[in-house]
Structure 1
Amino acid sequence: MSFINIDVTLRDGGYRNGFAFPLDYALEHARLSVESGFDWVEIAYRNGSFKPIPNIGLTGRGENEYIRSMAREIGPEHVAIILHPKNITAADLTEMYAAGARLVRIIVPPDEPEPGLRHVRRAREIGFTVGVNFARVSQLSARRLADLAAACADAAADVVYLADSNGSLSPMEAAELVTLTRSITGGDVGLHAHNNLGLALSNAIAAADHGAVWMDSSIQGMGKGPGNLIAEQWLAHLDRSSPGTCSHLQLAPALELAELLLAKVPEATPSLSVPDLVLGRYDLPVEHRRNILGDAREGLVKARGLAAAS
Structure 2
Amino acid sequence: MSQVTILDVSLRDGSHAVRHAFTEAQVRAAAKGLNAAGVRYFEVSHGDGLGGSSLQYGLSATDELKLIEAAASECTNSDVSVLLIPGIGTKQDLQNAVTAGAKMVRVATHVTEADVAAQHIQLGRELGLKTVGFLMMAHMAPVEKVVEQAKLFESYGAEVVYVTDSAGAMLPQDVTVRVEALRDALTCDIGFHAHNNLSMAMANTVAAVQAGATFIDGSMRALGAGAGNTQTEVMVSVLEKYGYATGIDLYKLLDVATDVIAPIMQQPQEITAGSLVLGHAGVYSSFLLHAQKAAQQFGVDERDILMTLGNMKAVGGQEDLIYEVAQQLQRA
Q: TM-score, normalised by structure 1?
A: 0.88
In 2, distance between residues paired with 1:137 and 1:254?
29
Contact 1:3 1:215 in 2 (8 A): yes
Give the AA of the match of 1:29. Answer: A
Cα shift at 1:263 = 4.7
- Structure 1: give runs of 5+ residues left out of the alignment: none
- The aligned counterpart of 2:323 is none
- The aligned counterpart of 2:257 is 258
Give the AA of the match of 1:47. Answer: G
Contact 1:163 1:191 in 2 (8 A): yes
In 2, distance between residues paired with 1:204 and 1:190?
10
**1:207 maps to 2:208:** yes
In 2, distance between residues paired with 1:76 and 1:95?
22
- The aligned counterpart of 1:184 is 185
RMSD (Å) for aligned C-alpha atoms: 2.6
In 2, distance between residues paired with 1:130 and 1:303?
33
Give the AA of the match of 1:46. Answer: L
Secondary structure of the corresponding residue to residue 73 of structure 1: coil
Give the AA of the match of 2:4. Answer: F
Q: TM-score, normalised by structure 2?
A: 0.82
Give the AA of the match of 2:50. Answer: R
- Cα deviation, 1:167-199, whole Å, max 9, x if unaligned, reads 111111101110112222222111110001111
Contact 2:111 2:140 in 1 (8 A): no
- The aligned counterpart of 1:48 is 52
Residue-pair matches, total: 302
Give the AA of the match of 1:10. Answer: L
- The aligned counterpart of 2:93 is 92
- Cα deviation, 1:4-41, whole Å, max 9, x if unaligned, reads 11110011011111221121111111111122221101
- The aligned counterpart of 1:282 is 281
Same amino acid, percent of matched pairs: 25
Cα shift at 1:77 = 5.0
Secondary structure of the corresponding residue to residue 277 of structure 1: helix
Give the AA of the match of 2:61. Answer: G
Contact 1:196 1:227 in 2 (8 A): yes
- The aligned counterpart of 2:155 is 154
In 2, distance between residues paired with 1:19 and 1:224?
11
Cα shift at 1:299 = 7.4
Cα shift at 1:105 = 0.6
In 2, distance between residues paired with 1:114 and 1:33?
34
Moved more, 229-238 or 181-190: 181-190
Return closer, same or farther for 1:33/1:77 CA change in 2, 3 Å cut-off: closer
Contact 2:6 2:215 in 1 (8 A): yes
Cα shift at 1:204 = 0.5
- Cα deviation, 1:187-241, whole Å, max 9, x if unaligned, reads 2111110001111111000100010000000001010010000111101112323
In 1, distance between residues paired with 2:24 and 2:312?
44
